[in-house]
């Protein structure tokens, strides 16, 4: 007794579920595209995936081996057994790319299909050069890692050109590569790579040339085991994963949480952007501990989050390069910078202004290496389009921060920027002085009212040459100095936003991926940060440690006291 078409029907169902994101338990990140899938399916189709999904819910694929468009076809193939090529995808080049990807992902059937197709098309598969630069080294590296029982290099290490250079052929794995695959080894890539890590002199700070995909965004473990957080593994098993070196890993089980509703990030516009509200609701309604005290409210909150994300990543963002224009505001301190940057970015997007066409990669940042004056390839985009500034510069909306010159287009600005050397990458403050604005004075007053200033009177021998702030130790000073750089060293690989600190970027990535490792034991609500949870717990405890000295009002959060104090101090 056998049910005809059983397998086919099953696969069909699974593919439909994938399209809806239903029960998907793994996210594959390819460049700026996210693909949801089922671990079981991936594991069944490739031993490579099998080893990856064992411990990881988030997999980053090497973008030199596979691009979103190709991976979409690969995923379709996995779920359907068919190679669905549209006209533009039936080209030889596409099959070459598919073959590269299939080999990389160890999808042998797909690789065989591609080879067959390529041979049929013209004898020699993959003639000339591969569709992606130098994939053999990557293949070799990749397979090398597969074969080793211990992770190669530090956790989350991302392969760099120099890695690829290391001649460590693994014969056992080499065997796995067909002749077709082997031939592509034309490219022993030189250390400088092809894509702009022009400074061979990258410091160990190492952000340069090191894509930040290899980040473990699930570092946090829940404050306590059990309850709503039980799904979170407190440890990262990436060490155990043979591929940990090439993928970013996460054990955060929040994939089954409502927060996993992913914003549309797929540059291909495939079903990965499909936010199925129903599915979202289904997952959001899953009981995750005791019901929230303010159920409706918190439910609304939960529903907000994908919406907010969606608004944060507008459709035009999908067309942006991964590392796009940096918009740098005047650095006089903290918050103004933030507000400025966000607004500016959005404005630029809405106005359709093109600041994304620059050379893009913010490599060669020499992060942590301040010494080099080697100029090099600073693709900083000093696009600077603040409303208030426009009249001053007329039509020249693209302003070089260091020298203040305005340019009518980003191209011209970038050409100009090249004339600055690295030393000038620091933003010159006007006259080197800081004019304390009224807002700041007010803020200072307010913070004096709520607590001691963060800058005490203890010895701070390390002084910033740009803004004269002083610090206790040189590392902190260095960290601070990055805030003056025109090019922020740490780009988000999903939205391209740039950050001055890696930690901030990592935290930001968590928000993209919906990772909320901190769960409230009382109501099951989850947070991206420990601090938020601490704050939140006051809701349950009723603790209101922040008291207004003027009216005696008490608040659970300091920010609300501050905002309350504004009410007292504002003229109205």
Partner DNA sequence: CTGGGGAGGGGGCCC
Partner DNA sequence: GGGGCCCCCTCCCCA
How far apart are alpha carbons 466 and 110 in whole angstroms? Answer: 56
Nearer to DNA, 18 or 536 (CB): 536
Smallest gap from Cβ 567 to DNA, in A, equals 5
Task: For residue 457, give Cα distances in angstroms to 71, 450, 471.
Answer: 56, 18, 11
| 272, 492, 349, 88: CA torsion to nearest 10 | -40
CB nearer to DNA: pick between 226 and 552: 552
Q: How far is the CB of 555 from DNA (least distance, A)?
A: 4
For DNA, the closer of residues 134 and 489 by Cβ is: 489
Helix or strand run (H / E) with residue 80: helix 68-80
Q: Which is nearer to DNA, 395 or 455 (CB)?
A: 455
Nearest residue (CB) to DNA, 395 versus 439: 439
Nearer to DNA, 207 or 270 (CB): 207
In whole angstroms, the minimum distance from the beta carbon of 367 to DNA comes to 10
Nearer to DNA, 36 or 497 (CB): 497
Phi, psi of 518 (to 5 degrees): -105, 115
End-to-end, the C-alpha distance of the chain in Å comes to 82
Q: What gap in Å lies between CA 484 and CA 401, rounded to an integer?
A: 11
Q: How far is the CB of 543 from DNA (least distance, A)?
A: 10
Q: Whose Cβ is closer to DNA: residue 40's or residue 476's?
A: 476
Tokens of residue 447, six digits: 């913070």
- Looking at the Cβ atoms of 109 and 439, the one nearer to DNA is 439
Of 142 and 236, the one with the shorter C-beta distance to DNA is 236
Q: Alpha-carbon distance 502 to 480, whole Å?
A: 13
Taking the complex as a whole, how short is the minimal distance between the CB of residue 474 and DNA, in angstroms? Answer: 11
CB of 539 to DNA, least distance (A): 4
Distance CA 502, CA 45 (A): 35
Q: Of the two residues 41 and 446, which places its CB atom closer to DNA in the complex?
A: 446
**Smallest distance, DNA to C-beta of residue 272, A:** 19
Tell me how far, at minimum, the Cβ of 300 lies from DNA, in Å: 5
Query: Looking at beta carbons only, is 185 or 312 nearer to DNA?
Result: 312
Distance between CA atoms of 340 and 328, rounded to whole angstroms?
8
DSSP 131-160: SSSSHHHHHHHHHHHHH-SS-SSSTT----
Alpha helices, DSSP H, located in 267-419: 277-284, 295-312, 335-350, 390-393, 410-417
Least distance between DNA and beta carbon 216 (Å):
6
- Shortest distance in whole angstroms from residue 544 CB to DNA: 7
Query: Where would I find the H helices in 241-374?
Result: 277-284, 295-312, 335-350
Cβ contact 99:111 at 8 Å = yes
Q: What is the 3-state secondary structure (H, E, C) of 469-505?
A: CEECCHHHHHHHHHHHECCCCEECCCCCCEECCHHHH
CA–CA separation, 213 vs 29, rounded Å? 9
What is the sign, positive or negative, of the torsion defined by CA atoms of 31, 32, 33, 38? positive
**Pairing relationship of beta strands 58-60 and 26-30 according to DSSP bridges:** parallel
CB 470 within 8 A of CB 464: yes
Least Å distance, CB 181 to DNA, is 33
The two beta strands, 546-547 and 33-37, are unpaired
What's the closest the beta carbon of residue 77 comes to DNA, in angstroms? 33
Which is nearer to DNA, 420 or 497 (by Cβ)?
497
Q: Which residues pair with 399 in a beta bridge?
A: 406
Nearest to 262 by CA among 491, 41, 511: 511
In the complex, least distance from residue 489 CB atom to DNA, rounded to whole angstroms: 10
Contacts of 508 (CB under 8 A, 6+ apart): 492, 497, 499
């Amino acid at each position: 007794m056998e049910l005809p078409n059983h397998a086919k029907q099953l696969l069909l169902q699974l593919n439909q579920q994938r399209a809806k994101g239903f029960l998907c338990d793994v996210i594959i990140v390819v460049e700026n595209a996210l693909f949801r899938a089922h671990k079981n399916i991936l594991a069944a189709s490739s031993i490579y995936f099998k080893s990856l999904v064992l411990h990881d819910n988030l997999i980053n694929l090497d973008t030199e081996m596979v691009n979103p468009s190709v991976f979409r076809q690969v995923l379709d193939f996995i779920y359907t057994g068919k190679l669905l090529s549209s006209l533009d995808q039936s080209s030889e080049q596409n099959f070459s790319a598919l073959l590269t990807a299939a080999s990389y992902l160890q999808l042998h059937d797909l690789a065989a299909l591609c080879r067959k197709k390529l041979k049929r098309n013209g004898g020699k598969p993959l003639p000339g050069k591969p569709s992606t630069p130098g994939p053999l080294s990557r293949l070799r590296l990749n397979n090398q890692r597969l074969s080793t029982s211990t992770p190669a290099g530090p956790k989350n290490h991302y392969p760099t050109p120099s890695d690829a250079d290391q001649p460590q052929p693994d014969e056992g794995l080499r065997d796995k590569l067909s002749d077709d695959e082997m031939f592509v080894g034309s490219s022993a890539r030189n250390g400088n790579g092809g894509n702009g890590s022009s400074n061979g002199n990258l410091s160990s700070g190492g952000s340069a040339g090191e894509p930040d995909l290899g980040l473990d965004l699930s570092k946090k473990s829940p404050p306590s085991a059990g309850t709503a957080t039980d799904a979170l593994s407190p440890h990262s098993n990436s060490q155990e994963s043979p591929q940990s070196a090439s993928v970013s890993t996460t054990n955060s089980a929040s994939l089954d949480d409502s927060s996993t509703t992913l914003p549309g990030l797929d540059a291909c516009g495939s079903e990965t952007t499909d936010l199925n509200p129903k599915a979202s609701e289904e997952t959001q309604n899953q009981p995750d501990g005791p019901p929230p005290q303010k159920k409706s409210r918190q439910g609304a909150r939960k529903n907000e989050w994908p919406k907010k994300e969606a608004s944060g990543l507008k459709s035009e963002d999908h067309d942006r390069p991964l590392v796009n224009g940096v918009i740098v505001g005047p650095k006089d301190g903290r918050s103004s910078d933030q507000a400025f940057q966000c607004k500016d970015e959005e404005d630029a997007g809405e106005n359709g202004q093109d600041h994304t066409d620059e050379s893009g990669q913010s490599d060669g940042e020499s992060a942590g290496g301040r010494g080099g004056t080697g100029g090099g390839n600073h693709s900083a985009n000093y696009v600077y389009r603040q409303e208030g500034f426009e009249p001053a510069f007329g039509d020249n909306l693209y302003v070089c921060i260091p020298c203040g010159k305005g340019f009518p287009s980003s191209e011209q600005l970038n050409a100009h920027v090249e004339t600055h050397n690295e030393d000038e990458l620091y933003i010159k403050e006007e006259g080197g002085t800081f004019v304390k604005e009224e807002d700041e004075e007010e803020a200072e007053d307010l913070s004096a009212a709520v607590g001691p200033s963060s800058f005490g009177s203890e010895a701070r021998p390390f002084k910033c040459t740009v803004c004269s702030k002083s610090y206790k130790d040189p590392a902190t000073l260095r960290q601070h100095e990055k805030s003056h750089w025109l090019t922020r060293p740490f780009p988000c690989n999903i939205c391209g936003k740039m950050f001055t600190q890696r930690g901030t970027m990592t935290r930001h990535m968590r928000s993209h991926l919906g990772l909320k490792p901190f769960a409230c034991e009382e109501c099951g609500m989850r947070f991206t940060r420990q601090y938020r949870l601490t704050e939140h717990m006051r809701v349950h405890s009723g603790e209101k440690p922040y008291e207004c000295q003027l009216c005696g009002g008490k608040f659970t959060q300091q920010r609300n006291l501050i905002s309350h104090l504004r009410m007292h101090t504002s003229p109205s």
